[in-house]
């Protein structure tokens, strides 16, 4: 994680836009930084793995992880740290899940799931204790002070923040100059991290 690089971003933006006035410093930059972070995460360039939840026998669902965007996979890890096969999404969605539950309320080996109300609903409900391992694309939190992207995204964040700051201040020539730089860097990041097949909602 890049963490708090506000000071560095402030210096880069001020130099790039040939400005040293106070409107380029501190929290004034947060809007431009956040627009950049949101854009990068919308491109599925921010991934995460959640293993913070637990299942006990009979549990029906798992909650979406923090800032969940799209699912890559769910696997269940047993008490011996053995990871099962990835769960499969029910082709008929939550309606299929409800039909199955109406006909059979027993627990068993979990192989399928549906999505509804920001939860993953399990079929069958687990018949033991497990830790769900959820791998997913995430949205960046609305806290630009703590940047979750890694070091390889530093230039993309610099260029993106410069572009959005110029756009917000209606600095048309600067925005036009920095947008191609940002798009090029973003494309390089995308190419370096190929998108995984998503389990569509």
Assess whether 51 and 38 both reside in one domain. no
List own/partner pairs for 29-35 with CB under 8 A and 24 or more apart. 29/144, 29/161, 29/165, 30/144, 30/145, 31/164, 31/168, 32/161, 32/164, 32/165, 32/168, 33/6, 33/9, 33/144, 33/147, 33/157, 33/161, 33/164, 34/140, 34/142, 34/144, 35/160, 35/164
* pLDDT tens by residue, the chain, 201 residues: 888 888 899 889 989 998 767 666 667 789 999 999 999 999 999 999 999 999 999 999 999 999 999 999 999 999 999 999 999 999 999 999 999 999 888 999 999 999 999 999 999 999 999 999 999 999 999 988 889 999 999 999 999 999 999 999 999 999 999 999 999 999 999 999 876 666 554
Assess whether 56 and 71 both reside in one domain. yes
| 1 belongs to a structural domain | no
Assess whether 120 and 188 both reside in one domain. no
- Model-level pTM? 0.85
The parent domain of residue 186 ranges over: 6-45+139-192
Assess whether 149 and 184 both reside in one domain. yes
Domain count, the chain: 2
| 198 belongs to a structural domain | no
């Amino acid at each position: 994680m890049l963490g708090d690089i506000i000071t560095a971003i402030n210096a880069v933006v001020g130099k790039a836009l040939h400005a040293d006035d106070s409107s380029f410093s501190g929290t004034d930059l947060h809007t431009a930084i956040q627009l950049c972070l949101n854009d990068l995460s919308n491109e599925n360039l921010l991934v995460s793995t959640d293993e913070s939840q637990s299942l006990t026998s009979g549990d029906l669902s798992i909650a979406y992880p923090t800032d969940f965007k799209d699912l890559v996979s769910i696997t269940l890890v047993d008490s011996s740290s053995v990871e099962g096969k990835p769960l499969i999404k029910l082709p008929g969605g939550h309606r299929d899940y409800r039909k199955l539950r109406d006909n059979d309320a027993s627990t068993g080996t979990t192989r399928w799931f549906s999505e509804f109300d920001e939860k993953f609903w399990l079929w069958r409900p687990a018949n033991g204790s497990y830790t769900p391992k959820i791998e997913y694309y995430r949205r960046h939190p609305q806290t630009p002070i703590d940047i979750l992207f890694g070091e390889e995204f530093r230039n993309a964040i610099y260029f993106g923040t410069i572009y959005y700051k110029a756009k917000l201040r209606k600095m048309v020539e600067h925005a036009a100059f920095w947008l191609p730089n940002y798009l090029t860097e973003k494309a390089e990041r995308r190419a370096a991290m190929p998108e995984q097949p998503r389990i569509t909602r």
